[in-house]
Structure formats: C-alpha cells, structure tokens
Amino acid sequence: MTSDRGCKVVVMGGGSSYTPEIVEGLIGRAEELAVREVWLVDIPDGREKLEVVGGLARRMVERAGKQFEVKLTLDRREALPDADYVVTQIRVGGIAARIKDERVPLAHGMIGQETTGPGGFAKALRTIPVMLDICRDMEELSPGAWLINFTNPSGIVTEAVTRHTSTKVVGLCNNAINMERWIAREYGVEPEELFIEFVGCNHLLWVNRVFRRGMEVTDDLLGKVEASGEWAPGLIESLRAVPCGYHHYYYQGDEMLAKLQKGAAEGKPTRGEQIIEIEKELFNLYRDPDLAEKPEALSKRGGALYSEAAVRLMSSIHNDRRDIQCVDTTNRGALSDLPAESVVEVSCVIGGDGPRPLTVGPLRPELRGLLQQVKAYEELTIEAAVRGDRQAAVQALVANPLVPSVGAAKAVLDGLLEAHAEYLPQFGGEWTRQARSVAPGRC
Amino acid sequence: MTSDRGCKVVVMGGGSSYTPEIVEGLIGRAEELAVREVWLVDIPDGREKLEVVGGLARRMVERAGKQFEVKLTLDRREALPDADYVVTQIRVGGIAARIKDERVPLAHGMIGQETTGPGGFAKALRTIPVMLDICRDMEELSPGAWLINFTNPSGIVTEAVTRHTSTKVVGLCNNAINMERWIAREYGVEPEELFIEFVGCNHLLWVNRVFRRGMEVTDDLLGKVEASGEWAPGLIESLRAVPCGYHHYYYQGDEMLAKLQKGAAEGKPTRGEQIIEIEKELFNLYRDPDLAEKPEALSKRGGALYSEAAVRLMSSIHNDRRDIQCVDTTNRGALSDLPAESVVEVSCVIGGDGPRPLTVGPLRPELRGLLQQVKAYEELTIEAAVRGDRQAAVQALVANPLVPSVGAAKAVLDGLLEAHAEYLPQFGGEWTRQARSVAPGRC
Amino acid sequence: MTSDRGCKVVVMGGGSSYTPEIVEGLIGRAEELAVREVWLVDIPDGREKLEVVGGLARRMVERAGKQFEVKLTLDRREALPDADYVVTQIRVGGIAARIKDERVPLAHGMIGQETTGPGGFAKALRTIPVMLDICRDMEELSPGAWLINFTNPSGIVTEAVTRHTSTKVVGLCNNAINMERWIAREYGVEPEELFIEFVGCNHLLWVNRVFRRGMEVTDDLLGKVEASGEWAPGLIESLRAVPCGYHHYYYQGDEMLAKLQKGAAEGKPTRGEQIIEIEKELFNLYRDPDLAEKPEALSKRGGALYSEAAVRLMSSIHNDRRDIQCVDTTNRGALSDLPAESVVEVSCVIGGDGPRPLTVGPLRPELRGLLQQVKAYEELTIEAAVRGDRQAAVQALVANPLVPSVGAAKAVLDGLLEAHAEYLPQFGGEWTRQARSVAPGRC
Amino acid sequence: MTSDRGCKVVVMGGGSSYTPEIVEGLIGRAEELAVREVWLVDIPDGREKLEVVGGLARRMVERAGKQFEVKLTLDRREALPDADYVVTQIRVGGIAARIKDERVPLAHGMIGQETTGPGGFAKALRTIPVMLDICRDMEELSPGAWLINFTNPSGIVTEAVTRHTSTKVVGLCNNAINMERWIAREYGVEPEELFIEFVGCNHLLWVNRVFRRGMEVTDDLLGKVEASGEWAPGLIESLRAVPCGYHHYYYQGDEMLAKLQKGAAEGKPTRGEQIIEIEKELFNLYRDPDLAEKPEALSKRGGALYSEAAVRLMSSIHNDRRDIQCVDTTNRGALSDLPAESVVEVSCVIGGDGPRPLTVGPLRPELRGLLQQVKAYEELTIEAAVRGDRQAAVQALVANPLVPSVGAAKAVLDGLLEAHAEYLPQFGGEWTRQARSVAPGRC
C-alpha cells in the first residue's frame, strides 16, 4: 500500500538494457499504480548507459502522455527517500563477470550458468554484500518501501535480505509467469482462470497441481508435457509435476554439460558472450533520438514478462488486490518440510501488506529431497557471502547437486575467488580461514 | 466446481426454522450458483416441520421466479445422488436436548452453553456419529459433493469428518462473517476492502490483524474494542487481538457463570427454552399460505448472516472465485503450533477446489496456549464420540478450560450421559470401560 | 566434566536452612566428585544466617574428615572464579515474600502457592532479574561452570537463563527423584532398576511409562495409584499417567482452593508462616557448637532428596556417567509438540557435557494441552519478568489455568506488584505501559 | 527384555559365511544373555551351506562348554515360535545378485556398490518383500521378539519394516562400532569412555561431536582426520564432522567411479567376485571336522565387529543396560529436520524396551541437505519395493545423489529390473505402469 501522493519507483541498475521493459510496464499501469516518479539509479561506471537508457525512457514516457517524471542519478541515496518500491536489477561486475561465471565452472568440468551451480554461487557472493548495502540505505531512507528483487540468484539474494536486514522484500523471477502464460495458452483460457499450485524455490520451481476454472487438470497437463518431448522420457509421468526450465540442469545435467562442453570445444560463445553483442545492438537502438518505445530487438535479451511480473506485483500491493501470484517470500510453514525462515517460491495472495503464502503442507519425497538439498546449499551460500567464510563456501558447493565432488568444489571455488577477487572483498587478500563456529542451537 | 447442469444443494435438517434463511440466500445467488434443485431433508420425526418449512420455501422460490425446484424427503439417500453441496444444520435430539446441554452443566456449577464447555461436548457426542453416517452415504452416493457443515460444535464435527471419512468438508460459523461486517461498518468500508487475519478454531476465533485497503489498522481497532467496554478493562491492550463473543466464556468465565446462575435462580428460561417459544411463533408464521418471504421474526432466532456465509462459500467454490473467507478446514501447517491434521478456523482462499489456508506461522503465547489446550479437548472429544470411550470423555472434559476439576468433569459427564442416553448408543447400556490404548506413534 | 584439581562448588543462598542438606550430600560424594572447596554465598542482609549455617557446615566437614574447605562470603564475585558448579537456592525477598505469594492470591480467591498460580508467578518476577545478574557474573568469572538451579519456579527460572544468557544451566527439583524412589519402593527394586519416562515441565511432571528391569509395568502402577486414593476417582485410569503432587492444583483445583480458604478462615498459618517457626527452631539447633551433622528436624522443612538430586547430577557430569536422570533442560525436539527452545522436565542422559534429553515424540492430547497451556504461561512470565512488561504479565496470568478470568488476573497482579514493589524494580514506580511489540517472526 | 527361561535367538540366513562370527559372539556373552537356543535358518537352496556352517557352529558351542543348543532348519516357521531375537543376515539372490548390483550400474557409468547408489537400490527391491514376509511370520509366531536387522541396505530395510509391519525392529551396521573403536584407539581409552554423537542414516553416518571422559575433543579429532589424508583436503575442516567410509561415494564420487571403472577396464574382479573366492576358501575351512572356532580367514570377508554390535545390542536389551549405542531406529523427532517416522542412525539409549534416541535437534545445512536428499531416496525406494511401482523406482533413482540424471536412472533401472527379474515378482512380467496416486496428506 502506497501513499496517496502516488507511487515513487526506484530502479537500481537503471542503466540496464532491460529498463525499457519496466518503463513500458509502468506506463501501461501508470494509472492503477498512480506512478508519480520513476528514478533510474546506476553506479558511476554505468553513467553512459544510464544516460542512454534514461533518454529513451523519457521519450517513452513523453510519448505516452507524461504521466510521471523520469529521474536519473548515480547516487542511490538521492533516489531512495520516500520511495514506495525499489526494483533491483543490478549486476555486480557486469556481463564480464557473468562470462566468468559461465567459463570458470566449465573449465573445471561443471555446468557454467549464471544462476545455478558454481556460476550462480559466485554471482551470489558478489551480489549479496551490495544488496545488503542497498538495504542499509533503505532502512534509513525509505523504511516503508518494498524491495522487489530481480537480481539473480533471486531466491538466495532475497533470503539474504530477509535474514540480515529489516527491509520488506519480495523476490521475483519471470519463470512462474511464463509457465502460467504457457499453461493458459495450452488451455485457451486467461491466466486468471487458472489456479496453479507452484512449489519450490527460485529456479527450482515446480507446477504441482493445476486447476482450470476450478477443475483439476494436472493429469492432463502432465500428459501434454510428457508428449512435448521437452523432458527425458518417463520423467514427467514419474515425477507428477511440471519442472521449470532450470530443472534441466538437475534432471538432465549430463546432457546439459555435454552440450555446453561441445559448444566450448567448437568455440561457440556463451550466453553472456552473446549478450555483449545483443547489448551493443540494443544500445545503438536506444541512442536513436527518434526511438520512443521498447524496440522489438529487446526480446532477444531474454527476460520475457519480467516487467509484467514486477508491475503486476506492485499493482496488487498498491491496490490491495489479493490475487494469487507466485513470488519468493519467507516460508513461515507453507512448505512444512523446510525451515520457517527459508525463502521459498510459492503461490501467494498479494495484498496491501505484501505476499502471504498459501499453505501447502508436507511435500512428496520426489520434490522434497532435491528442494531440501538445494535450500541447504542456498543457506550455506548466504553464510559464505555475508561472512566471507571460505569453509562455508566449500560446503555450499559440496551441497550443490551440480558439483560432483569436494575436489571439484575446491578447485572451482579457487578459480572463482581468483577470477572475481575485485568484487569479493569479504574474502580478503588472504582468504578467510577463521574457525567456523556452528550456529547456536544447531548440531 | 460443480457440473454444467447447475448445482444441486441438499439441506440436512431441512425442517429447521432456519431454512427460510438459506432458501433466501440461494434465491439471491441462484444465478451465480446456477442452482438447479434444492432438497430439504429431515428425519421422519420432523415430517411436520419439514412440510411447513418446505411449503414456505416453495412459495418463496415461486415468488422469486422459480429459478429452481424445491424437493422434500425424509430419506437422505433419495436426496444425495449427484448432489454438489450438502449443507448440514441438523440438531440431534432437537431443542429438548439443547436445553439439557444448558441445564445439566449449570446444575453442576459449570457454564451451560450449547457449543462450548460440557454442553458443547455433549452436543458433539450426539452429533458426530450421525454426521459420520451421513458421510458414509455421501461417500457412496455423492462422492464429489462438498459437505458444508453448520452443525455445532462446528469445528469439532468438521474435524471428526476429516479424520474419519473421505468426504470433502468445510466447516462454517457465522462468527467470522459477523466480525468482518462489524469491522467494515466501523471503518465505513465494504467487507471486501478489509483483509482480516483470523486465527484460531471454531468459537475460539481471534482477529489477529486487520488491514483496511492494505493499510494495517490493528492498533486502531484494538483501541476501539477496548473503548467499547465489551471486555474486561485491560484485556484487549494486553492480548493485542480481538476475541470472538465466545471468548467471554474463557476470559470472563466467572462473570458468565454468575450471570447464568443468577438467571437460573430467578427462574429465567435458558436460551434453548426461549427458542422453543420463538420457534412456535416462527412455525405459526411459516404456516401462513400467504407468506412467501423470510419473516422478520426469524432474526430473533440468531444465526445472523449464516445463510450469507454458506451461499457465498458455495458461490466461491462454484465460480472458482479465489476470494478470502474464514472457514474451518484442515490446518496443514498454516498454524504451525498445531498438528497438521487439526481443523482450524482461519482465513482461506476459496477456489474451485475448496479452501486453502493462508500461512500464518507460529503464534504468540497469548493465543497459542489457550488454542492448543482447546484443540486437545476437541481431539479427545472426537475420540470419545467415535469410540464411545468414557475415559476419553473424562479427559476431554478435564482438558476443557470451562471445567474446573476432574471431580466436576466426572459428575457432569455422568449427568450428561444419563440425560442424553437415548442419543448416545455408542456409550452402551453399560458405559464402555474398555482399556484405552494409546494411539500408535504417541507417547 | 571438571578440572583435575577437583571441584569447586558455589552455593548461592548459602545461608539457607537447607544448606546442611547439600553439605551432607557433598560430604557423602566428596570422593567421587573430588570436591576441593565449597563456597557458601549470601547477600549482606543474610550475614547472620550465613555465619550460623557456615559454622555448622564447617563442623560437619571437620567431623567427616575434612575432605574439602568451606568458605563463606557476602560477595558472589569473590566466590565465582574457577567455579565448577554453582548451585542456586536463593529466595528473593525471603520467607516474608513467600507469605505474600500465598496470602495475596488467596485474598483474591485464587490458590496461593509459592511455585504455581499467581504466587509462583510473582516469585518468578522477583527471581529472574537476580538470576540473570548472577549469570552475567558467571559469564565473566566462571564461564565453564554449570549452574544448577533449585530456585523456584525452577523451570521458569531455568528457561529465563537459557533464553537470556550463555550460562550452562540445569534446572532441578526434588519431584522426580521422590517419584522415582517411591516407585522403586513399590516394586522392591533399586531406583537404578527402573526406567521411568518422565514428561512435562517443572511442577507439571508426569510419569508416562515405567519399566522394571526392562519390563513395562505402567498399567500395574496406574492401578496402584488409582487404588491409593490420592487422586479423584477415575482420574488415573483415564489419564494413563501418574501426575506429580502439584497436579492437584490443576486437576482438583476446586478442592485445593476450598482447603486453603478453610485454613485461612480458621486462622491457620500458611506453609510460609509455618516455615518461619521451623526455621527459628532450625537455626537454634544450627547455632549449637556441638552439632556437627544435619539435624533430624530439617526433614520438617521439606525438600526431601533435594541434596541427593543435586549431588548425583554433579557427580554424573563430573564422572561422565551417562546415567538417566530427570532434569529441566532445553527441549530441542524431545517433546515435539513444544518449541525447541522451551525448557522441559524430561528423562535425560547425564554425561560430561550435561543433559541430553531422550526423544519422546508427540504427546497424547491428555498431556499435551495442559502442558502447552502452562508453557505459554511460562513464556509470558519470562517476558514480563525480563522486560517489566505489565501487559505480558496480565496475559501470563490469563494463560495460567489457576486464574479464573482476566478480571481476577488484573486484580491479583495489582495486589502482587504492590506487595512486592521493593523487589520488582523492573516494573518501575509507575507501572510500565509501553506498547508491546509482537516478537519478530510471530503472529 | 527376555523371558526367564533364557534367550532364544534365531538367525535368518544362518548358512552365511558370517555365521561363525555371531556364534562366537553368542558364546562370549552366553551367560549375560542366558542363551538357551540358537536356531540357524536358511532357505532350501542353502541347505548345504547351512549344514556346513551349522556343523561348525555346533563344534564351536561344544568346545565352549555347550551353554546352548544349536538347531538348524529350512523352515523359518519352525524356528520362530517363542523367539526372543531374530537376527536377519539374508542375501536375496546370493552373491550372484550382488555381482549384478556391482556390474550393472558400472556398465551404465555409475558407481556399482551393494548398499549405496543403484546397486543398493536393487538390493532393497529384492530384499524388502522377503523381509516383510519374515515379519508377517514374526507377527504371528513371535510377536514379542526383536528383529535385529543386518541385511543391507540396513536402514532402508529397517524403515520398510517400521512402516509396513508391527514387528519391533532395530537396524544395525558395523559402521558405528568401527568408528567408535577407531576413535577409542586414537585416544587410548576404552570405547565406554567416549561419548560420540552420531547423526545420519545408515551408510550416511557422521560423527558430529566426540567427548572423551566428558571433555569435548571434536576439534582435535577433526584435525587428526584431516591429517590422515583419507579425505580430500579441506573437506573435514569445512564439514566439521567425521564422515563414514561410505561418504566417499558422495563426497568423492568422481574418484570412486574412476577407480571402479579402471578396475573394470583392467579386468579386476568386483568385491562380490572376490567374495566368491573368499567364501569358497571359508567353506572349505568350515567343513574341517576339527575346526571348532572362527577361522582367522573370516576377517577377509569384512564385517568386522558385526557380531559384537549384534550381541552387545541384545545384551543391553536383555539386561536393560541403558548404555548408549548407535543403531537404526525411528526418528520420533531426534533429528528434527526429518520426518518423525523416518528411520535414522543415531546414538540411542538401549534398555529393556529397545532403543530410545538421544535428542539432537536441528542439523547444520552441511549435514542436513544431503541427509534429507538421501532420506527422500530411501522413502521412494521403499514405495517402489513394496508396491512394485516403477515410477517410484525412477524417482528413487533420480533422487539418489549417485545417479547423474533421469536418463541414467531409467537406463540403469531397466538393466537392474531385467537382471534381477527372478527376485522382483512385485514388478510383474510387464512392469507395473499403474497411475501413481500421491499419498494422502501430501502435496
């Protein structure tokens, strides 16, 4: 719920090539959100990109009838006061760091991907300290604001915020909204006519049950998914849930790794390397003073519906809509097999006071074991990131299902800490080797 | 979610004086519910009442444009096939038994009330076996139907059904809807503009938090309630929740008992005795062939908004509306301090597949202790009712906060078993004295 | 596990009339405990009593062969360094305060007893701040020492220590050891030949199951207890557990209150008032320079086997004996229906690292509801005591099964806060009325 | 606790080459166990081995003074009546099946091992139905007997028994006793002078904390283990627990697989194939009518201390000794992150009524995630084994950390079901393809 003066939205990482997407979304719902100001914030190194993107954003808003102001700043503390929503889409270390997240694990024989496996782990180490700094500023300058986090690994970052700050936070991903839209298309209905029981955590999300206008169609959907050939034969009928795309890394990791290794052997660019090219093209378009709308080419960048997910979430909070959306929030017991304080990605009612999970209860072992294993990895990753604890880092990787052994964990950790040293001050010049104490109350 | 042919609603206890209320509700939402048939069912002893009420119901439907049929039967197995909703408002033993539920405990120095304390306990003993019989018939004849239970003690009866049958059941009470309407009036808003976090179990329900158009107003509401003088000074500010009316028996039991005892000493009728007179008057009105609407006098009977609660619930299931209503349903972890299989009364999303509780998490000790104690009482009561287990019955009463001692428990139990012997076949001619085995897996 | 130099034992409240009991116990096990020094500590107001008791203690040790030193001090910080065991038997406000704990509730129509009900509550309010001060000193001066707490209400005080300090603590009571000895006598065996499954919390302790040389004799024991006539007929056979003496207040509170009220009406002294006389007599005996052993008259004081419980506990820790004793310790999940951080009184293995509870699992509702209700009371009492929070205090009393209503709660609270004002600085000259914030993570 | 007539011990799989080990153990403790009769039972196909082993057993007993009878039978129903302990060391399909458990996974690129990974899974599928048949007989013929299960995978088999029968069961393994003895040697103490906090499940067991005469030496032990070079550098210091040998498959699975593959490439025999040779040699020795003691050569067979673990367990139950042993038993909440009904391998007090786990509480994520993942695998394996459910079987393998993908899972499952078809009647001629229903109460 926001103030009567209208919403103030702050976008951290405002110079991102994604920004036209969210600006378009805010324009589309400017009225229902009563948007007053949108601040695009970036770091000094991102000045040029911010100015280019900011220029486009202003032209877009202008053309749409200028319902709100677009402001640019390189000082987030200037932007934060009185903010209602702070959207984070930062990328610590930029695309260059992402490419290392892809290349370093692959060089050690593991999947290199920016959100899962050792790559996602490294991204968490870089990102969490910066996010906690943003939250410290929010605690001081905009304590009532909602933090809407898109920065990956979104669930881990969100849990770090819930465990280490008092900032109100919701984690988001475009995974759930894309699954929802796809199922709606399959059944020829509006998304609102479906109820989807999402369970899991970020990038480990399952559709557990689906209801179409109140009638369960789960079995039918499973048949469609099995028939689609997207998954290894027999997975879907035995799992009895629809995995998200990132589950390919867990269920078919051998094939995924082989594919990545083949690409590397053939000299193909990684996704991060492709994005450098896409971004060049996008920024060239953005610089065009006649461009006053989101260019079609942005669709190549990925992130479909991310803006829709963000703006619809803000709107449901702002308007106390109490519709059901799948977001990352504190478990509280909704998935009773996980700690109450874990961040989970589940179907929630979104009202003026934020998300409230629908109670799911105990999970089947098919979903439970993998989810618990990954949550243990996430918890250890947060410990490693916050305390610069190298031993927690080793154990985080050992716990990660995409890391085959402790030897691999140590090797890739060394590689990642070295590659990203500039962005990992918490690990010190000499890696921290303090004795780890077991958290109180834990055995 | 109901079939395309439209809804078939069966009302058990159709001869009740309340029936014009639910018939009015069904007429009002006949279109959104697509009501096809309404069956009023009663037992042979209730033939005359059923015919009188059924006549009125038919005249009401006729006047409203005859959107659906009203059918009467004394054989529930005739009514059940293909039912979509079965509403239970039965009263085993009738008002005469209720009066004993009031008088017997009072004679033993305890509160005599039909839903709480020893009176509610006795009502549960009489009702549960009959309800389980109805469910057996539903399992056979209308396995897809929802049982919407109003029969008190509503939470205990609902939990007995969830524990001992496969029938889909929701428990209802007009407590939550009346609290909701009252808060809406206080804040000059529509009920839909509020989000109320209800927690507890039936007749032990608290408003824990209230949001008005998304802004929390709990503190303000607590101030209003404290100021209203309804509760002993200091209760509300220390409790930080709004109790339901039945909490008077728990928080101010001494005053409540004194009042009942004074009434008895002065020869005043109990509520049940008053109702006999009210019902006489009502049935005289119902017999009037010119009457074709719910008479104003029915409001004296109590039960305000009960019909609205029932019909709104059916409509949200039928239309997969996914709005939030407070109902009695299986906990699953929503209140993490109670067993997952307990029935709780909490805010739920109501969709085509029934209620899904919003996750609340751990409760404050102010609410937790009393709720846990009462749930233990309820669990023992169900054991006593289903197994005719006199020792479980003693312990149920010992666990009930309105029973001061084991001596009182035994005395009032003897009195109640004797008074209601005719309706308690499970306790045998000679009261069951079998050795109690501890349930497996419990210490 | 204590150091090789032998044990140093510090007794807080060393001037108590009980002290000869524990001195006798330490003499009896001086060898197995390798006792080096015993410090008796008291407050300046207790100087005279300390000197009298200390004199007797020294004569007792002398006669027994002077295996260890007895030292006296009025400054606990002098005694604490290098302590191995700190035994607390303090009584804040002395017997005079106890008498108020008995008289004030009785004047308001409630049971007046020093450990349960409003009396025990008031004792907790006075005691907890002093105990936390002692623990602060222990954290600084003897961080490795075990605190062995006897001060009542023992469970509540112990839980306050676990929740608010880092001191290693075990709570003790002579309830369990007396039940154990009594059962051993009934079966003609040594206590070691029994395994007793104790469950509950302090002064709310049940024997749930009993094994004699490995064969379960629970049913037989229940029969004996039922036959003993100690309990209202039918309680034991329906409960299927053996209650402790304090359960009379819960199961037969009406009779207990009537008895206390009759005593008051007849001008009989309370237990506290009797103790004044007993203590006079005892101290006269203690002053006798020829007395060098515990006088028989001490048995009138109550507390049978308290010394045995304490010394046996210390010995099992010191010698890593890993035998089973029933003590007050952190739950951790042993009773899975209670919070992990609650202090419970259960059968534990006692080894060099202290007590480890035997896992019990979920409890029957017969035991569960009352135990949960009382634990909610205890948790609120600790909040009230630590924060001087009057609203928590009201709710603590409302949650207490021996307080009949919120009106009674408020009245007796006013009476107790006034009567004990001198010992309740945390409640301020003007009673604290700060807004209570709900603990984080709780609804 | 066993009867006064002395113990009757029944050994299922009595023709095993291990049997002289347990016979030696029973002779050694014949007095404290008051052994009356030992029955060696085998299946008709094992007649010859049974006679050979039985002959040796009788000579051993004879030489030791014939404290008890040794009886042989091929009909377990003859042996069971009045049994006190039933020890199961059966091997369904014999060594030939074990070799397939090793070879088939290896042929599919996975670790082939008889207790973990796909090999252990196949062994569970073969074993569980036979074990449940044995339990049905025990329920009928010796309902008071304890089943002491050694048959691997011991934890899974034990959990199948707890979930599907009423037989009293303890699972055993020689892992814990060997770790205990090794630590005792390291510290130059008797095993009884240690307290070891074991946590985990069978073949996934960690030493979490160690106390030597009550003083914690965990850090010191971790240093020793790290220094031993048994584990990949850095594992122990980051894990802060001592893994069991089988953890090599989880923490260093890549190396273990490479080693097995190298062996296979070089034509080396698997462990099972080696055992065929060892057993030949052993049976030749056993046939020697002059041999009347366990031959030294049996030590090559593995299983060190297995007899000691079994006999010490029986003795502690028989004598209600209440010492601490690490066994497989129902969790009940001891490890609060796992379901209460899971079988875990933890430190327990062993008394006349069997094992009672010491409460551990919540686990660190380092241990928790892997343990939860493996328990999910185990639960699915039991479902697959009991119901012949191929889909549960696929998911069990998908959940197993040693199976890299769903493709691998399906391939190895096909291979195993074909290889063992004769011992897997529950999977039918045509593999079961029934729709899987989700267990009630689970999402």
DSSP A239-281: H-SEEPTTHHHHHSHHHHHHHHHHHHHTTPPPHHHHHHHHHHH
User: Which of D240, D376, D439 shows the shortest C-beta gap to A438?
Assistant: D240
- Cβ contact D125:D49 at 8 Å: no
Q: Please tell me the CATH code under which domain B7-170+272-296 is placed.
A: 3.40.50.720
Q: Which of C194, C346, C359 to mutate to test the interface with D (most CBs of D within 10 A)?
A: C359
* Stretch A196-207: mean pLDDT: 98
User: Least CA distance to C3: which residue of chain D?
Assistant: D215
CB within 8 Å: C336 and D334: no
User: Which of D363, D366, D441 shows the shortest C-beta gap to A395?
Assistant: D366
User: Which of B253, B339, B398 shows the shortest C-beta gap to C404?
Assistant: B253
Burial class from Cβ neighbours inside 10 Å (0-12, 13-18, 19+) for residue A45 reads exposed
pLDDT tens, position by position, D387-406: 999 999 999 999 999 999 99
Q: What is the 3-state secondary structure (H, E, C) of D248-261?
A: HHHHCHHHHHHHHH
Question: C interface toward D at CB cutoff 8 Å?
Answer: 1, 193, 195, 211, 213-216, 317-320, 322-324, 331-334, 336, 340, 349, 351-353, 356-362
User: Least CA distance to B332: which residue of chain D?
Assistant: D441
Phi first, then psi, for residue C261 (nearest 5°) are -70, -40
Q: Residues with Cβ < 8 Å from B248, sequence gap 6 or more? A: B231, B255, B256
* Stretch C173-194: mean pLDDT: 96
Phi first, then psi, for residue B196 (nearest 5°) are -115, 125
**What is the rounded distance in angstroms from the CA atom of residue D141 to the CA atom of residue D137?**
6
Higher-confidence residue of B370 and B301: namely B370
C246 is catalytic: yes
User: Which of B214, B340, B349 shows the shortest C-beta gap to A336?
Assistant: B340
* Stretch D372-382: mean pLDDT: 98
Mean pLDDT, rounded, of chain D: 94
**Chains within contact range of chain A (3+ C-beta pairs < 8 Å):** B, C, D
Closest CA to A242 of A260, A262, A257, A226: A226
DSSP D207-236: EEEEEETTEE-HHHHHHHHHHHT-S-TTHH
Q: Residues with Cβ < 8 Å from C192, sequence gap 6 or more? A: C323
CB within 8 Å: D443 and A208: yes
| Residue extents of the structural domains in chain A | 1-425
CB within 8 Å: A251 and D379: no
**What is the rounded distance in angstroms from the CA atom of residue B239 to the CA atom of residue C392?**
8
**Strand-pair category, B343-351 with B354-357:** antiparallel
E-strand ranges in B92-222 read 146-149, 168-171, 194-201, 204-212, 215-216
CB within 8 Å: C352 and D322: no
pLDDT tens, position by position, A36-74: 999 999 999 999 999 999 999 999 999 999 899 999 999
User: Least CA distance to B368: which residue of chain C?
Assistant: C376
In this structure, what is the dihedral angle of CA atoms A313, A316, A319, A320, given to the nearest 10 degrees? Answer: -130
CB within 8 Å: A358 and B352: no
Predicted TM-score of the model (pTM): 0.95
Chains A and C form CB pairs within 8 A to the count of: 4
**What is the rounded distance in angstroms from the CA atom of residue D359 to the CA atom of residue D381?**
27
Q: In angstroms, what separates the C-alpha of C178 from chain B's closest C-alpha?
A: 22
Q: Tokens 């004569």 belong to which residue? A: C59
Range C7-172: architecture per CATH: 3-Layer(aba) Sandwich (3.40)
- Cβ contact A9:A38 at 8 Å: yes
**What is the rounded distance in angstroms from the CA atom of residue C202 to the CA atom of residue C161?**
15
The 3-state DSSP class for residue D349 equals: strand
Q: What is the predicted pLDDT for the residue at A302? A: 79
Q: What is the predicted pLDDT for the residue at C3? A: 52
Q: What separation in angstroms does the CA of A264 have from each of A110, A270, C61?
A: 12, 8, 83
- Cβ contact B152:B114 at 8 Å: yes
Q: Which of A198, A363, A403, A442 to mutate to test the interface with D (most CBs of D within 10 A)?
A: A442
Which residue type occupies C296?
Answer: E
Verify cis geometry, omega within 30 degrees of 0, for the bond prior to A153. yes
Residue D3, pLDDT > 70, answer no
Q: How confident is the model at residue D333 (pLDDT cuts 50, 70, 90)?
A: very high
Residue C2, pLDDT > 90, answer no
Q: What is the predicted pLDDT for the residue at B301? A: 83
Residues of D classed as catalytic: 246
Residue B440, pLDDT > 80, answer no
Closest CA to B114 of B273, B230, B258, B244: B273
Q: How many CB atoms lie within 10 A of CB C235?
A: 24
CB within 8 Å: C443 and B240: no
Q: How many CB atoms lie within 10 A of CB A181?
A: 16
User: Least CA distance to D341: which residue of chain B?
Assistant: B441
pLDDT tens, position by position, D12-39: 999 999 999 999 999 999 999 999 999 9
Residues of B in contact with A324 (CB under 8 A): 322, 349
CB within 8 Å: B380 and C365: yes
Q: In angstroms, what separates the C-alpha of A353 from chain B's closest C-alpha?
A: 6
CB within 8 Å: D320 and C357: no
C436: DSSP letter: P
Closest CA to B400 of A46, B98, B392: B392
* Stretch C75-103: mean pLDDT: 97
Closest CA to D329 of D208, D177, D169: D169
**Chains within contact range of chain C (3+ C-beta pairs < 8 Å):** A, B, D
**What is the rounded distance in angstroms from the CA atom of residue D27 to the CA atom of residue D33?**
10
Residues of A in contact with B333 (CB under 8 A): 333-334, 336, 359-362
User: Least CA distance to D443: which residue of chain B?
Assistant: B332
- D1-429 classified as CATH 3.30.70.1710: no
Q: How confident is the model at residue A441 (pLDDT cuts 50, 70, 90)?
A: low
CB within 8 Å: B332 and A213: no
CB within 8 Å: C324 and D322: yes
- Cβ contact A86:A161 at 8 Å: no
Q: How confident is the model at residue B321 (pLDDT cuts 50, 70, 90)?
A: very high
Mean pLDDT, rounded, of chain B: 94
Q: What is the predicted pLDDT for the residue at B10? A: 98
The 3-state DSSP class for residue A225 equals: helix
Q: In angstroms, what separates the C-alpha of D372 from chain A's closest C-alpha?
A: 6
Q: How confident is the model at residue C437 (pLDDT cuts 50, 70, 90)?
A: very low
Q: How confident is the model at residue A21 (pLDDT cuts 50, 70, 90)?
A: very high
Residue D429, pLDDT > 60, answer no
Q: How confident is the model at residue B436 (pLDDT cuts 50, 70, 90)?
A: very low
Question: A interface toward B at CB cutoff 8 Å?
Answer: 1, 193, 195, 211, 213-216, 317-320, 322-324, 331-334, 336, 340, 349, 351-353, 356-362
**What is the rounded distance in angstroms from the CA atom of residue D354 to the CA atom of residue B174?**
51
- Cβ contact D347:D324 at 8 Å: yes
Pick the CATH number of A1-425 from 3.90.1820.10, 3.30.70.240, 3.40.605.10, 3.20.20.70: 3.90.1820.10
CB within 8 Å: C365 and B377: yes
Q: In angstroms, what separates the C-alpha of B267 from chain C's closest C-alpha?
A: 26
Residue C440, pLDDT > 80, answer no
CB within 8 Å: B359 and A361: no
Q: Which of B364, B377, B431 to mutate to test the interface with C (most CBs of C within 10 A)?
A: B364
Residue C195, pLDDT > 90, answer yes
Name the percent of chain A lying above pLDDT 90. 92
Q: How confident is the model at residue A1 (pLDDT cuts 50, 70, 90)?
A: very low
Q: Residues C18, C85, C187, C246: which is the catalytic one?
A: C246
Name the percent of chain B lying above pLDDT 90. 92
CB within 8 Å: A333 and B215: no
Residue D434, pLDDT > 50, answer no
Bridge partners for B38 per DSSP: B9, B70
Q: What is the predicted pLDDT for the residue at A442? A: 59
Residue B1, pLDDT > 60, answer no
pLDDT tens, position by position, B268-293: 999 999 999 999 999 999 999 999 99
Bridge partners for C242 per DSSP: C207
Residue B211, pLDDT > 90, answer yes
Residues of C in contact with A340 (CB under 8 A): 441
The 3-state DSSP class for residue A357 equals: strand
Q: What is the predicted pLDDT for the residue at B442? A: 59
pLDDT tens, position by position, D93-151: 999 999 999 999 999 999 999 999 999 999 999 999 999 999 999 999 999 999 999 99
Backbone angle region of C314, left / alpha / beta, with phi > 0 → left and psi within -120 to 50 → alpha: alpha
**What is the rounded distance in angstroms from the CA atom of residue A308 to the CA atom of residue D406?**
34
Q: How confident is the model at residue A201 (pLDDT cuts 50, 70, 90)?
A: very high
CA A351, chain centre distance (Å): 21
| Cα Rg of chain C (Å, integer) | 21
Residue D433, pLDDT > 50, answer no
CB within 8 Å: B436 and C372: no
Q: How many CB atoms lie within 10 A of CB B117?
A: 29
Residues of A in contact with C441 (CB under 8 A): 340-341
**What is the rounded distance in angstroms from the CA atom of residue A131 to the CA atom of residue A386?**
11
**What is the rounded distance in angstroms from the CA atom of residue C2 to the CA atom of residue D377?**
44
Long-range (24+ apart) CB contacts under 8 A made by D220-229 are D221/D183, D221/D186, D224/D186
Chains C and D form CB pairs within 8 A to the count of: 103
Q: In angstroms, what separates the C-alpha of A386 from chain D's closest C-alpha?
A: 16
B61-84 in b/e form (b: 16+ CB < 10 A) is beebeeebebbbbbebeebbeebb
Residue C266, pLDDT > 70, answer yes
Q: Residues A18, A85, A246, A250: which is the catalytic one?
A: A246
**Chains within contact range of chain D (3+ C-beta pairs < 8 Å):** A, B, C
Q: In angstroms, what separates the C-alpha of A121 from chain D's closest C-alpha?
A: 16
pLDDT tens, position by position, D272-300: 999 999 999 999 999 999 999 999 988 88
Residues of B classed as catalytic: 246
Q: Starting at the edge strand that comes first in sequence, how are the strands of the sheet with B323-330 ordered?
A: B69-73, B35-41, B7-12, B85-88, B146-149, B168-171, B323-330, B343-351, B354-357
DSSP B343-363: EEEEEEEEETTEEEEBP--SP
Find the farthest-apart pair of alpha carbons in chain A and give their distance in angstroms, rounded. 63
* Mean pLDDT lowest among A340-344, B294-298, C33-37: B294-298
Residue A319, pLDDT > 80, answer yes
**Strand-pair category, D85-88 with D146-149:** parallel
User: Least CA distance to B199: which residue of chain C?
Assistant: C443
